[in-house]
Chain A
Amino acid sequence: MKFDRTCIAIVGLAVVLLIAGPLLPAWAVSLANVSLCLGTVVLGMMLLMRTGLVSFGHGLYYCLGAYAAGTLENLVKVSDIALMVLAGAAVTAVVSGLLGLLLSRYREIFFAMLSLAFSMILYGLLVKSAALGSTDGFNISAKTLAGFAVDGDSRRVVLYSIAVIVTLGSALLLHLYLSSHRGRLAGAIRDNELRVEYMGASVRATIHVNYVISAVLAGIGGALMAVNIGHIDPEMAYWPQSGEFVFVAILSGTGSVFAPLAGALVFETIRSFAYEYSPNTWQMVLGITMLLVILFLPGGLWSIFKRRKAG
């Protein structure tokens, strides 16, 4: 674990984004904001994919993070953004810690199916819980940050700055983790679990740790998204939402912690333009893109960049 070039690039990018925030037009800030929130979730998906696992139920943690933040405001009357995001992280850490005990025994489609079942359980609970707004969900106002009021014209930029710090901070920590001893085991587990066990490392423990990290990232992303959009509903746990995370992770590739962030930005940009110009064919565009990536770029969009650098 050392502070390498990627770390410097992440910090540099964060500084540039923070300075650029107040200068960018409102639509660009909003777009960047949503992309950063999504990027945080996809960072977690990338970690799982490096470990050789695809979860079709990460909406569980995305939704859980958002509802933890929302419930904190709605029921406990705490409306501080920092506390709300922390609540999202804490709740997802506990839940994934428990579910991870089970899921770390599963691989391949059984892992995908069991995580799908868990996320659908949450969905089933939320759509029927009247106290939390059933299918409509509820609104979130998130008024303060560490005691200071966040409102008016500056709100957009403040939220954006929070997203930049949290997302790139997560990316930095994830990068450091990936270059640590345990982090490097992820790729080894994907390639050959048996050899990892022979070398004396615990596959289950590593998968468990990676699962919790990815869940917490999804929870943070969900809480951030909730604060940003100001509304949450059970659709966040519905399986197409989880599918979207898988999609962006496939699109991005697992080559670097920058890949999920870039992939999320590309995805949200396509989405906002497609909603504008062809709302009824954009999923088709996504589907075709995904097929092309799976068939011709198994390493994701990031591999184009990598290949050029190598050549």
Chain B
Amino acid sequence: MAQLLAVVIDGLIYSSWLFIIAVGLTLIYGVMKILNIAHGSLYALGAFAAVSFTSAWFNAGLPAAGSFGMLALAAIVVGLIAGPVIERGLLQFQYGKDEVVLVLVTYALFLILEDLIKFIWGVDPLFVQGPMGETPYSMLGTISVGELTYPGYNLLLVAVAIATGLVLAWALSSTRSGKLLKAVIHDREMSAALGINVGMTYFVTFTVGATLAAIGGALTAPTVSVITGMGAEVIVLAFAVVVIGGLGSLGGAALGAVIVGLVRAAAVHYYPEAELFSIYFVMALVLILRPKGLFSGAEVRKI
């Protein structure tokens, strides 16, 4: 029983992390029909920027609690710089091309960004850590659930994931721009003809998606050693999540994240050898049974 509880809690924590990473990917695909491999690099950029920002903060001798603000700032700065640069500099010339060609373009971008990261931050592992060894990860203390103890930082992940999901769902369904966005998803040409600035919609969507990837990276940075290649590892996981839920669906990303999170947690607890295998097995299974993902039913899509 205790183990089952542990599986559920571990699973949900992991799901939250997955959701933060995958939601930007599904948003970009849903609106722009770009399956963005470079999403993994944006995640890595967020993590590396988080290291730089927090170490600058710690070096200035400022109170350690402010490092949380630095994590957020790092993600926003990366998102607001990388997003517009990539969208305006490269992607805006690619719209309307075949989806597979767009995947290849973002793959090329992924290769470029991977080396850009090495170029800026070097190839040694980096850590988010203050002079006394304090990290945002340890600062939030621990929380006990029955006999189990969890770092408080994990609660932050869950909170951020839920907040992100709710804000996006609200923005899509209840704001003017969200409704315009839905129109663009439904029929790009017609929306443009009716006076919606489609280019601007794409620009904003990509920037928001890039920022979400960077937030995922910045929040992960305190929990791991930040190394090159972390983007490659994460992007396939994010693919698994969005494919399981259904590409381009917000609810699908949440469902996919929960499924992958629980499956992985169960594998880790009961049969550790199957940790990676189980995730991609579920991904293949969903693609075989419901190629468009579990949440594809009421998807608005042109024929």
Tell whether, in the assembled complex, residue A114 and residue B288 are in contact, meaning their CB atoms are under 8 Å apart: yes
Contact flag A54-B111 (CB < 8 Å), given A117-B240, A120-B236, A124-B277: no
Task: Decide if B204 is an interface residue (CB 8 Å cutoff).
Answer: no
- Determine the chain B residues whose CB is within 8 A of the CB of A246 once the complex forms: 104, 107
- B103 touching A54, Cβ below 8 Å: yes
Residues in B with CB closer than 8 Å to A258 are none
Determine the main DSSP class of B at the interface with A: helix
* Distance of A264 Cα from B101 Cα, bound (Å): 21
Residues from 62 to 102 in B contacting A, C-beta threshold 8 Å = 90, 93, 98-101
Given the interface pairs A128-B273, A294-B105, the reply to whether A288 lies near B112 with Cβ below 8 Å is yes
A177 at the interface (CB under 8 A from B): no
CB of B115 within 8 A of CB of A117, answer: no
Residue in B104, B111, B280 with the greatest tally of chain A CB atoms within 10 Å:
B111
- Nearest CB in chain A: distance from B290 CB, A: 11
Q: A117-B283, A123-B276, A288-B112 are in contact. Are A243 and B291 (CB under 8 A)?
A: no
Taken together as a complex, chains A and B put the C-alpha atoms of A112 and B116 apart, in Å, by: 26
Q: Does any Cβ of A come within 8 Å of B9's Cβ?
A: no
Q: How far is the CB of B84 from the nearest CB of chain A, in Å?
A: 18
Q: Which A residues, 241 to 297, have Cβ-Cβ distances below 8 Å to chain B?
A: 243, 246-247, 250, 280-284, 286-288, 290-291, 294-295
| Nearest CB in chain A to that of B107: its residue | A243
Interface size on B, residues (CB 8 A): 45
Contact A113:B232 (CB < 8 A) given known A128-B276, A281-B115, A287-B112: no
Q: Does A121 contact B (CB under 8 A)?
A: yes
Q: What is the size, in residues, of chain A's interface with B at 8 Å between Cβ atoms? A: 40
Tell me whether B108 and A291 are in contact (CB under 8 A). yes
- A240 interface residue (CB < 8 Å to B): yes
- CB of A121 within 8 A of CB of B284, answer yes
User: Is there a chain A Cβ closer than 8 Å to B170's Cβ?
Assistant: no
The reply to whether B280 and A117 form a contact with Cβ atoms under 8 Å apart is yes
In the assembled complex, the Cα of A230 lies from the Cα of B280 at a distance in Å of 29
A residues 98-122 touching B (CB-CB < 8 Å): 102, 106, 108-110, 112-114, 116-118, 120-121
Compute how far the CA of A238 lies from the CA of B237 in the bound complex, rounded to whole angstroms. Answer: 12
The chain B residue sitting closest to A54, CB to CB, is B100
> Quick check: B239 and A282 within 8 Å, CB to CB?
no
Does A283 lie within 8 Å of B112, measured CB to CB? yes
Contact yes or no, B108 A294, CB < 8 A = yes
Q: Please give the distance in Å from A226's CB to the nearest CB on chain B.
A: 22
A292 to B288, CA, bound (A): 35
Question: Does chain B have a CB within 8 A of A67?
Answer: no
* Inter-subunit contact A121/B114 (CB<8 Å): no
Q: Does B179 contact A (CB under 8 A)?
A: no
Contact B287 A114 (CB under 8 A): yes
In chain B, positions 279-300 with a C-beta closer than 8 Å to chain A are: 279-281, 283-284, 287-288, 291-292
Q: How far is the CA of A128 from the CA of B101 in the complex (A)?
A: 34
Q: Is B276's CB under 8 angstroms from A127's CB?
A: yes
B108 touches A290 (CB 8 A): yes
Beta-carbon contact of B99 and A109 below 8 Å: yes
Neighbour of B110 across the interface among A54, A102, A106, A287, CB < 8 A: A287
Please measure, in the bound complex, the distance between the C-alpha atom of A108 and the C-alpha atom of B98, giving whole angstroms: 9
CA gap between A215 and B171 in the complex, in Å? 46
Residue of B nearest to A298 (CB): B101
Known interface pairs A108-B99, A124-B280, A290-B108; A284-B287 also in contact (CB < 8 Å): no
Q: Judge whether B109 is part of the interface by a CB distance below 8 angstroms.
A: yes
Q: With a CB–CB cut-off of 8 A, which chain A residues contact B273?
A: 128-129
For A94, list chain B residues within 8 Å (CB).
none
Among B115, B236, B243, which residue has its beta carbon within 8 angstroms of that of A283?
A: B115
**Is A124 a contact of B279 with CB atoms below 8 Å?**
yes
- CB <8 Å contact, A113 and B107: no
B118 touches A (CB below 8 Å): yes
**Interface: A31 (CB within 8 A):** no
| Chain B, residue nearest A49 (CB) | B100
A149 within 8 A of B: no
- Contact (A113, B276) CB under 8 Å given A240-B232, A290-B104: no
- Asked if B35 is an interface residue, CB under 8 A from chain A, the answer is yes
Contacting residues, chain A, for B272 (C-beta < 8 A): 128
What is the distance, in angstroms, from A25's C-beta to the closest C-beta of chain B?
30
Q: Could you tell me which B residues sit within 8 Å of A by CB distance? A: 35, 90, 93, 98-101, 103-105, 107-116, 118-119, 123, 232, 236, 239-240, 243, 247, 272-281, 283-284, 287-288, 291-292
Interface CB pairs A-B, < 8 A, 8? A117-B283, A120-B236, A124-B275, A129-B273, A238-B232, A247-B107, A280-B115, A280-B119
Q: A106-B287, A280-B115, A280-B119 provided; 16 other pairs, C-beta below 8 A?
A: A109-B103, A113-B287, A116-B239, A117-B283, A117-B287, A121-B277, A121-B280, A129-B273, A250-B104, A280-B123, A281-B115, A283-B115, A290-B107, A291-B105, A294-B105, A294-B108
